[in-house]
Amino acid sequence: MSDTLLYEGKAKKIFSTDDPEIVRISYKNDTTAFNGEKFEQLEGKGQLNNEITSFFFNYLEEHGISSHFVRKISETEQLVRRVEIVPLEVVTRNIVAGSLSKRLGWEEGRKLPKPIVEFYYKDDELGDPLLADVHVQTLELATTFELEKLRRQALEINQHLLELLEPLGLLLVDFKLEFGREASGSFLLADEISPDTCRFWDMETNEKLDKDRFRRDLGGVTAAYAEVYRRLNSNN
């Protein structure tokens, strides 16, 4: 298997393989927040994110949602289809938290009347700004038709995840998805689905079980990720 490093991000490294259509992702223990301004290495976090992401992609595949995921090959690695990542973060929100609380002036924890989908420009130098549809089209990131397709898929994924997580006592507050373009030009779910990219709260206590523990200096980050992983596998 090839060891040529193709790309290194904040939380993952991507390597080529002997198959030009497949790449290998290696999850790191690096943990960042605020566009890299806050940094720490947390032992075991890479393995947990790999395990949790693999679980979610397999679960979604069983429910008709295709992704770039091929299979998990080690504790910290997985094989995925090669795609061109669209610089667009698709955020679905069920409960008010984070930046939405500041924008709306609503308290964290308030349930939204219905889930909402937002688009953010994936650009660290600009601070990943919130985009209106017209901005997405101006930047030529996606067409009107593609945006509607992304909205529908985000809401479909949201529904599948809610059905999975609620019986496990986990609130899905909000989550970020990324998509890649295949050679055909069509979108494919990509990147990861983990406590790094989702807000998970305990349903009874509202205890945060996600990256907010790192952002807000709450401690117990890997223990919270491990609890999410434990609940996901509690029926196995």
For the chain, domains (ranges, CATH) are 5-81 (3.30.200.20), 84-220 (3.30.470.20)
- pTM, two decimals, is 0.95
pLDDT at 184: 85
Name every residue whose Cβ is closer than 8 Å to that of residue 95 and which is 6 or more positions away in sequence.
108, 109, 110, 111, 112, 171, 173, 174, 199, 201
Q: What is the pLDDT of residue 236?
A: 65
pLDDT of residue 165: 98
Q: What is the mean pLDDT of each run of 10 residues along the chain (236 residues)?
A: 84 95 95 82 96 98 97 98 96 97 96 98 94 97 95 98 98 98 90 98 98 95 98 86
Continuous H helices in the chain: 45-62, 99-104, 133-138, 144-165, 212-215, 221-232
| Inter-residue long-range contacts of 219-228, CB under 8 Å, 24+ positions, other chains counted | 221/31, 221/42, 221/45, 222/42, 222/43, 222/44, 222/45, 222/48, 224/195, 225/45, 225/48, 225/49, 225/52, 225/194, 225/195, 226/44, 226/48, 228/48, 228/52, 228/170, 228/195, 228/200
Tell me what pLDDT residue 2 has.
60
Helix, strand, or coil here: 130? strand
> What is the structure's pLDDT at 37?
78
